[in-house]
Amino acid sequence: MKPSPKDKLLFRLLLENRHRIYAYLFTLIRNRADAEDLLQDTCVTLWEKFDDFDPKTDFIAWSFRVALWKVKNFQRKQGRAKVTFNDELLDIIANRYENQIPKLGRRREVLQDCLEKLSHADREFILARYEPGASAQTAAEHSGRNIQAAYKALARIRKRLHQCVTHNLDAQPEM
């Protein structure tokens, strides 16, 4: 089974963009494991529907459309109990998110610099919190904090990172 040029193109696009699609899914579904599963689901559908995709158009926009549809479908299956946002709100968030894509991309780049600006302890702590399978609890244990102190520290570091990125972004000329 040889990959067609189109297959190769899709692989490349997915490799390049899978973290962006994931972030979009995570924003909508609010749960890391669900977002990771839905990413796989989305990729399969993207592959199946890839013949419909015009390479001259925006891959991200197209994949986000599929991803949003996957999220709505998923929530429908989950039933009322687990629904975080209704379809109407999902559309609002999705719409705003898509408008922000270029800015979000720049924020991502700047975030790495801001991580470097954190103290060593804070950087280790926040990264430990976001490791696969980790939680505030595991990060607290890892750093020897009690859990309430960990909540406070995480909130503080997140806010600092966000402000740092916003500040640095404002200082940078827009592309």
Q: Is 23 in the site for another protein (CB under 8 A)?
A: yes
Q: Which of 61, 84, 113, 117 binds another protein (CB under 8 A)?
A: 84
Residues 108 to 167: which contact another protein by CB under 8 A?
A: 108, 111-112, 115, 126-132, 134-136, 150-151, 154-155, 158-159, 161-163, 165-167
Which amino acid makes up residue 147? Answer: I
16 close to 63: Cβ distance less than 8 angstroms: no
For tokens 């998923």, the residue is 74
- Helical pair 5-29 and 32-48, crossing angle rounded to 10 deg: 150
Q: Which of 12, 49, 65, 76 binds another protein (CB under 8 A)?
A: 12
Residue 54 or 116: the one with the smaller Cβ distance to another protein is 116
Q: Which of 106, 107, 142, 145 binds another protein (CB under 8 A)?
A: 107
Q: Is 100 in the site for another protein (CB under 8 A)?
A: yes
Q: Is 19 in the site for another protein (CB under 8 A)?
A: yes
Residues of the shown chain interacting with another protein in the complex, contacts defined by CB under 8 A: 1-3, 7-8, 11-12, 14-15, 18-19, 22-23, 26-27, 30, 32, 36-37, 39-41, 43-44, 47, 84-86, 88-89, 92-93, 96-97, 100, 104, 107-108, 111-112, 115, 126-132, 134-136, 150-151, 154-155, 158-159, 161-163, 165-167
